[in-house]
Structure 1
Amino acid sequence: MHADNKVLFDLEKKFWQSIVDEDTDTATSLLTEPAFMVSGHGAFKFDHARYRQMAEQGSMVVKSFELSDMDAIYPTPEAAITQTS
């Protein structure tokens, strides 16, 4: 395992926990601006204001999460791409 994987995976878990906790301040502190979200609906680019709007006014509620099979690749020393199941 790459030495930085634990740090990345801990940040990923912290982000998802902020969604469960409805803590948009923590969530936005963990996002770049702009940020990308990739899901079954495709890719979506957004800024902090748009994330806050989605989190505080959206109808989706996340009550818990479980991440497994976490993996990461490092195309450059400054960038990582993570994947979870």
Structure 2
Amino acid sequence: MPHDLTTLQTLQALEIRYWQAIKDKDAETAAAMSEDPCLVVGAQGVGELSRAALGKMLEGGAYELSNFALEDFRLRPLGEDVVAVAYKVRETLELEGQTLKLEAFDASVWVRRDGQWTCALHTESLAGDPFGRR
């Protein structure tokens, strides 16, 4: 299947659905949308999350995601059944009694198996100076 507007819309909808599952602390949906394990990369390092670990993380998370918006969505086909997506995300979350507003740049690699897309890799980089200066 060529990667056209339909594929872009499908994967953008999947990313939104994934974020909504995090917001709703819907571990079942997030786990079903993830490879087992899923690679994750962020400010805390590199890791792998099994579906079970992802579920526990969402259910017992120290923060509450209250709002999110995805912008500047990009898609790059890597093969017929592998697609990388990247976008800017604006997040509002509650952590330790504080409301935090974050901007970050995220990327995911989605793999299609038997007609079902799952996330195999997700990264998030907080927006800011690339050299860590404040």
Match of 1:10 among 10, 13, 20: 13
Distance in 2 between residues matched to 1:84 and 1:21, nearest whole Å:
21
**CA offsets, 1:20-67, max 9 Å, x none?**
111111111111111122333343211101101111122122111111
TM-score by length of structure 1 reads 0.88
Gaps of 5+ in 2: 89-134
Count the aligned residue pairs.
Answer: 85
Point out the structure with the larger helix share: 1
- Once superposed, which parts of structure 1, at least 4 consecutive aligned residues long, lie more than 3 Å away? 40-43
Distance (whole Å) between structure 2 residues aligned to residue 75 and residue 13 of structure 1: 21
What RMSD over aligned residues (CA atoms) do the two structures have, in Å? 1.6
Q: Which range is displaced more, 35-44 or 9-18? A: 35-44
> Structure 1 residues 60, 40: CA separation in 2 closer, same or farther (over 3 Å shift)?
same
Find the residue that maps to 1:15 and give its secondary structure. Answer: helix
Residue range with higher mean Cα deviation, 1-10 or 33-42: 33-42
- The corresponding residue for 1:40 is 43
Quick one: percent identity of the two aligned structures?
A: 24
Q: CA deviation at 1:80?
A: 0.7
The structure that is strand-richer by fraction is 2
Q: Which amino acid in 1 is paired with 2:4? A: H
Q: Aligned partners of 1:7 and 1:58: how far apart in 2?
A: 28
Q: 1:43 to 1:2 in 2, by over 3 A?
A: farther
Code of the aligned partner of 1:82: V
| 1:17, distance to aligned residue in structure 2 (A) | 0.6
